[in-house]
Structures are given as C-alpha cells and as structure tokens.
Amino acid sequence: MLQACLACEVVEVKAIIRRPLGVAHAMLKEFRHDNYRDFTDVEGAFRDVDACFYCLGKSVRQVSGEAEYRTITYEFAMSAARALYAKSPGAVFHFISGSGASLKSPFMWARVKAETERDLIARFEAVCWRPGSIDGVPSASEPVLYKAFRPVARVVLKPFRSLYVTAEDIGLAMILASVQGIRGRVIENAEIRDLADRQRAASR
C-alpha cells in the first residue's frame, strides 16, 4: 500500500509508525508514535493532508478477547479520525474493515468492525473498505496461518474478484476514491479491484 502511494502522483506521504519502515523516499516522512489513543504528539502528521489511509489492526486470533480487540479496532480508529479532522477537516478517512463485517454477525470481530464502520461513516463520512483475502508483503507479527495460506490464495482465490485482493490494489483504490471524492460508504472487495484497475489504467 505504501509503495502504491509513493508510485502515484502524491506530493507527500506521512506515515505514523511504531518502527522504521526501512524505506527511503523523498516524499516519505515518518512519525514515530506508540499511543494510539492520543495522537497529540504527532498532530503534525494530520495537518494539511487530503486523505488518511488507516491500516492499523490485529487479527482476532492475536488478542486476549473482545475488550482488547475493540480497543484496537474501534477506539484507535475513532481517535485517529478525530485527530485527522481536527487538523484537516476537509480530508477523507479511509478505514480498512473486512469482508463479512455485520452488526448481526455471530462473530465478535465482524460486529466490532461493523460498529466501527457505522460510527466512522456517521461522524466523519469515512470510506470503509471490506477486503477479502489480502495478499501483500509478509509481516513478522501476522499469524502463521496467514503466511501459510498466502501462496494458496494466490492460486485458488485470485480469479475471484470478490474474494482476493492485494495490498497494492487497496492502496490504488484508496487513491482513486480520494481523487474522486467518494465519501461515507462501504466498498466491498470486487469494487476495490475495479477501482485499482482503473487507477492503474489512468497511470499508464
């Protein structure tokens, strides 16, 4: 997703991070931070920006229970959205949710994501993205099951536009949605890939 931003006609990319990204680029500015309930110390990251691509999250398998999952998924996202609109009220907040998010779901993670979508859209006209199986650069903190499944997904799921998406696809789709002024709605996996394809074609 970062590479998609750096490869497009973006003037500046501000990244709030816990650890250095290990990427050197003239357009990239990093803000080290570890308190995602309060962004006061890095408020400059939210000043004079057009869009915030919020990608923070954890698998439900990596948390102790609903309270921790809700803190990371809901509270951190709402805090970031408030920080964005305090400094850049005209910006759009993009939230990565997940396919299957629903207030009526029997699964806790899906209900929490749906609550987050609902409140971000209601308060900030956020755009909420529901990717299916995401293929991207492996992370040291991701569950072992995800690492094992990634090569399988590339073969089995890739042909299905409603099930498979790359991290680059999401980044490109967010860029196009920002340019087009899309606000206040949910975007499912197939549309993510459609938007990404359109952005690639426009960049050629």
Could you count the other beta carbons within 10 Å of the beta carbon of residue 136? 16
Which of the 8 DSSP states describes residue 74? I
At 88, which CATH number?
3.40.50.720
**What's the predicted TM-score (pTM) here?**
0.90
Range of the domain at 79: 2-203
Phi-psi region of 164 (alpha: psi -120 to 50; beta: other; left: phi over 0): beta
Q: Please state which of the ranges 8-17, 55-64, 100-109, 179-188 shows the lowest mean pLDDT.
A: 8-17
Residue showing tokens 């860029």 = 175
Number of domains in the chain: 1
Q: What is the pLDDT of residue 148?
A: 72
